[in-house]
């Protein structure tokens, strides 16, 4: 049986009565481990699979009833379907790999959960709490013109200059370095920050960042723990900070060729 194929058919084709709608960027289908046992060498894992519009609140509720919970995975709904449809689709997949099911609780034996998660990853976008936080911070005041998910950058054209890059971190560093080399007050970029964390810091404070990367030819560091789309958003923020037009940056990917 083609489990992944059947799951994909369900997620994309079933429930035609659902009208496509926009969803909040924090909407996710989650998998939370609520217990983990081993009996006679057999590993048994109880996992709650459900939907949430605020994962922090959801985890807080679970922690009241279980001491050692663990957030295993989160998936974002496809734009064509709503959150409830995505949840039902993930439940359909879980039933094929779980040993037992009780409402939203699924019992997985040995490597059953890993097989389930890998199958869901083929039809829904796996995400993390960091990525959701970043989207909330960077997505509110910029307009997404292109989806770079799953792509590899090859060239960044910034302020009329063309630079070759090998990955999104390098695109971020290269783009920002070129902008800052063209302005009178490069340290002004440190005024750009997320709701709960800094994006840019001076040398000596780089330990404040999750994944600090030096900005070439400056004494500044930039946070690099961003998705491909977030790199584009951050570059747009820097352009806006120094009153450049948004089209002053273009990113060409290997997939464009």
Print burial letters for 21-38: b (CB count within 10 Å at least 16), e (below 16). eebeebbbbbbbbbeeee
**pLDDT exceeds 90 at position 143:** no
pLDDT for 108 equals: 95
Residues 100 and 15 grouped into a single domain: yes
Amino acid 122: pLDDT? 83
Domain with residue 231: its CATH number is 1.20.1380.10
The boundaries of the domain holding residue 11 are: 3-127
| Residue 107 forms part of a structural domain | yes
| CB-count burial class (<10 Å; 0-12, 13-18, 19+) for 171 | buried
* Domain presence at residue 68: yes
Predicted TM-score (pTM) of this structure: 0.51
Distance CA 116, CA 135 (A): 26
Model confidence pLDDT, tens digit, residues 107-119? 999 889 999 999 9
Say whether both 101 and 169 belong to one domain.
no
Q: Is residue 206 part of a domain?
A: yes
The verdict on 175 and 227 lying in the same domain is: yes
Chain-wide mean pLDDT for the chain?
Answer: 82
146 domain residue, yes or no: no
């Amino acid at each position: 049986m083609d489990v992944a194929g059947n799951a994909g058919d369900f997620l994309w084709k079933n429930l035609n009565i659902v009208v496509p709608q926009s969803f909040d960027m924090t909407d996710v289908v989650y998998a939370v481990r609520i217990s983990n046992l081993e009996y006679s060498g057999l590993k048994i894992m109880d996992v709650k699979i459900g939907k949430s519009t605020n994962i922090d609140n959801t985890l807080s509720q679970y922690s009241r009833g279980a001491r050692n919970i663990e957030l295993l995975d989160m998936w974002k709904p496809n734009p064509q379907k709503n959150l409830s449809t995505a949840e039902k689709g993930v439940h359909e997949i879980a039933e094929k790999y779980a040993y037992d099911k009780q409402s939203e609780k699924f019992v997985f034996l040995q490597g059953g959960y890993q097989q389930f998660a890998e199958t869901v990853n083929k039809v829904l976008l796996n995400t993390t709490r960091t990525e959701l936080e970043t989207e909330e911070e960077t997505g509110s005041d910029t307009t997404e013109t292109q989806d770079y998910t799953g792509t590899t950058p090859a060239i960044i054209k910034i302020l009329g200059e063309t630079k070759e890059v090998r990955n999104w971190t390098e695109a971020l560093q290269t783009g920002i370095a070129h902008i800052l080399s063209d302005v009178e007050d490069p340290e002004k970029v440190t005024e750009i920050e997320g709701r709960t964390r800094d994006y840019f810091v001076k040398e000596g404070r780089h330990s404040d960042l999750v994944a600090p990367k030096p900005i070439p030819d400056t004494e500044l560091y930039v946070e690099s723990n961003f998705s491909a789309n977030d790199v584009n958003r951050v570059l747009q923020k820097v352009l806006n900070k120094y009153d450049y037009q948004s089209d002053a940056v273009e990113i060409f990917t290997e997939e464009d060729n």
